Amino acid sequence: MTYRVYSGPRGVQRISPLEKERLLYKELDTLDGALSWARHVNDGGRTALSIEGDDGTILSKQDIAAALHHPEAEAGRGGEPAR
């Protein structure tokens, strides 16, 4: 299974199919890996805009943000769960 994490500059809210063809992306083998890369992208000053998988998985920028702020994700990162 392959997941593509599309990224762009901070402040971008949505991407059109034409814009997506020009965006940077990274392919990863697992959804966990894709979310980890999305966290890395966000921490590095860019924005993870979408995660798309060969299995039909599509996560929007908002879905990614919610997954990364989930208490289990924070605990797995070595931080305290959000309260």
Tell me the whole-structure pTM to 2 decimals. Answer: 0.80
Reply yes or no on whether the pLDDT at 64 is more than 90.
yes
**pLDDT (tens digit per residue) in 32-53:** 999 999 999 999 999 999 999 9
Quick one: three-class SS letters along the chain? CCEEEEEEECCCCCCCHHHHCCCEEEEECCHHHHHHHHHHHHHCCEEEEEEEECCCCEEEHHHHHHHHCCHHHHHHCCCCCCC
